[in-house]
Structure formats: structure tokens, C-alpha cells
Amino acid sequence: MKTTLLAAAVLAFGAGGAFAQEAQTAPQKTPTCAEALPQIESLIGQADQAGLKTETAEDHVETARAAQTSQDEEGCIRALVMAQNDVLTQAQEATPAPETRQQ
């Protein structure tokens, strides 16, 4: 479930701020705050249902909402990326390391 959550997280935000893009691909358009906010809220909801700690991510979303109200697009996106990164970190920490087989 948590691995699925991690994959969903990457797809939900298009790996916007969390992962470097390949040099040969064209850069993707960064979503607007209004576009990204519901995606990140959904991601946090999925993380919460999976039993991950989401308080810090929720705080970042509140910061994003405040920035959106102030028409601070950059501040909103920055806060949403922080929320996304927090959820991704939680998912990675909760995913057990693959076992190595000895032969």
C-alpha cells in the first residue's frame, strides 16, 4: 500500500519539485497553485489513510492556502512542494528495504 502511495505521489504532482528531470526531455509546466492544491490535498488524504504522519504536510498546505489568499503564487507552490516532499519522505521511511538473498 505504501509503495502504491509513493507511486501515486509521484504521478499526482508530476514529480514537480522532488525529482530532477532527464536532460533529454522537455521541462514540464509547473502547475499553478490552484491546480496543485487539490492534488496535494488528495495525496495527504491517501497518506493519512495509509497510516502515515501528515501533520507537517497539512501545516504546509495551510501555508499554501494563506499564500494563495495573498496572491503569492511562488509561496504557494513552494509550500505545496514542501508538503509533497514531506509525504514522499514519510512513505519512503515506511517502506521496508528490499531483502537481499544470499545464495
Q: What is the pLDDT of residue 11?
A: 44
Of 97 and 48, the structure prediction assigns the larger pLDDT to 48
Indicate the helix (H) or strand (E) that contains 7: helix 2-12
Q: What is the pLDDT of residue 100?
A: 64
Backbone CA torsion sign across 91, 17, 67, 35: negative
Percentage of the chain with pLDDT > 70? 72
Q: List, for residues 45-81, the tens digit of each pLDDT value.
A: 999 999 999 999 999 999 999 999 999 999 999 999 9
Of 1 and 69, the structure prediction assigns the larger pLDDT to 69
Query: Which pLDDT band, with edges at 50, 70 and 90, does 4 fall under?
Result: low
Q: What is the pLDDT of residue 101?
A: 63
Burial group, residue 64, by CB count within 10 angstroms (0-12, 13-18, 19+):
buried
Cα gap 72→101, rounded to integer Å: 51
